[in-house]
Amino acid sequence: MNSGREVIDGRLTVEGFSVAARAFADKWKTHNQSLPPWSWVPLINRTLLLSNQQEEGYLSLENILILSSLEESTEDESLNVATECSEKEEPVDHTILNQENEAHYYDFHIVYSASYKVPVLYFRGYCSGGQPLSLDVIKKDLPSCSVSLLLQSKWTFITQEEHPYLNRPWFKLHPCGTEDWIKLLSQSSISAGCQMPVELYLVSWFSVVGQVVGLRIPLEMLN
């Protein structure tokens, strides 16, 4: 890798986030075709302020339809997800909608935190009519392991605040510990005789963070 393109201290620059985000989106599109691709949303006005001309933005994965399974699986607790598409498909027999008999949709954004210098996962849930879901309702859609963590530390694990670019309340996974455990991963790579390239930062990060909201990445993405 080129100099300056390795992860040393667990943090990212704005430029590093842009590189890592595009690499993550490319790997996701190649290895995870069961879900739509992540889209890069450029922030034109903010980009013009950057002296190095590096485009600033965030990743977006939206309109993910959550379906509740009739039988809980002990082997795979990932969310049963489907996507909205133009093709008409018959409902899958082994899935049902939530208890209110209404679909729940989710939007996910990966945003760079200038204060923590790490990526942050923002998300929101809403009904088909656009009404936002409360955290209590969202917890029913989360994997059971996530619910257990929420019960132990509710507002230090998932918090709600204004989306930094959309100026609307979204939930987010608090990034306070991200730098430390990414640093451990990078140090493990150094011990093995190599350094974690910045292109794998978001892949490694999302392999942990994504499981909280039921979005697991294929192992091929880690290669």
Known catalytic residue at 176: yes
Q: Record the tokens describing residue 37, joined without a space.
A: 């691709």
Q: Give the up-direction half-sphere exposure of residue 114: CA atoms within 13 A in the CB hemisphere.
A: 5
Residue 197 CA to residue 50 CA, distance in Å, equals 23
User: Considering all CA atoms of the chain, what is the largest pairwise distance in Å, rounded to the nearest integer?
Assistant: 54
The gap from C-alpha 97 to its chain's centroid, in whole angstroms, comes to 23
Q: 85, 145, 176, 194: which one is catalytic? A: 176
Active site residues: 176
